[in-house]
A and B are shown apart, each in its own frame.
Chain A
Amino acid sequence: MAAPQETTSRSRRTVELVVLAVLFVAFAGASAAGKRPANAPDDWWVTRLGVVIAAGLTLIMYSFLYRDNPLFKMAENLFVGVALGYGVILTWRQSLKPEIIDPLFIDPPHLHAFWMELARRSAPIVLGALLLTRISRRAGWLSRYSYTLMVGWGAGLSIPITIHTYVLQQLKPSLGLVSKVLGDAPAGQQASFWSTALPVLGDLIILAGIVSVLFYFFFSVEHKGAGSFVSQLGIWFLMVSFGASFGNTVMGRVSLLIGRMRFLLHDWLGLGP
């Protein structure tokens, strides 16, 4: 005789299967109910088939909110496979074909043009090919030449640019308070108290934030007394920053849901204004 828990599980599974069958029938009915517009092009059915498949996959992906299930796993694997296949085709069509195949074998009008193109492109082609030697244990060391060049080139370019963009340029707003206090008002302009005070207050907050957050990550001095206060202030600034990031993340995710919902309601079911 089956245990009570096993019986409950089996009956629940039966209910879930019945609900799934009803949902499938409802999905098929809703998909078939889509009417062809009067001025629809000849290939309307192809587009409609794409919409129905996309709607089905969207609903399957959202079924995860109820529970992990085989349909979700299938859709997940399908997505990974399609994304990989799409990536391979994109790399071929957007990079390899226009950068190597077309200029060397399709476009050049004569042999001289071929040799000119080959001379221009041989170094990148060889360095790119060397990267592929990573798949071989014996020849893998050859890929280091490409990596060496990439790292050297990247570091050489990015170090001065990073210092300029992320440090020197960012010092400007951090020192805005100093320039406002020391700088003269533009000739002919009579600044009001509030128009001067509010930006100065903003600069003060920025300055306090920078100093306190930097101090929070400064571990050479024990954070006690006044140091503890500054460190705590740094934590508050960080928390506000994380809150802003979290709020924006929620907004971004809701936007994605709005997009899917609009697709299901408007494009698939034909509802709404």
Chain B
Amino acid sequence: MTVEIRKTSFDAFDELRCYQQDTLKAAGKYGATSIFIGSMRDFNEGDNVQSMTLEYYPGMTEQYLEKISADAVKRWGLLDSLIIHRVGTVKPDDAIVLVAVWSAHRAAAFEASRHLMEELKSRAPFWKKETGSDGDRWIEKNSPG
């Protein structure tokens, strides 16, 4: 079970390949891997967005992500989980979040990855501020899943 806050850009597919090769201790045990990658759009609410700055609460954010990961591992009997989340300034097409889970069967993988993303979006202390042609604005709430 791994949680990381990243201050620089990352390639989600490279991260997955490296994690499976170097860290995941479940070769031959998992039959399902479910992944979610959230990345930055260049539009929001009808406006162009040039960049976005993500802020977090150091300490609480990691603690919250570790808690929901541990809960999901226990609830769905996952073999492992990985969450990487960007902070700082991101550009369109940059990865913002990667959630991956490994389980014996697909139902647990699908359900757990969806659950982790919804928990992260609704309660993990991150905040986004967009920069567009009209200046900066805080995003006030996440769209429903």
Task: Say whether A and B bind each other.
Answer: no
**Interface on B for A, CB 8 Å cutoff?**
none
**Interface on A for B, CB 8 Å cutoff?**
none
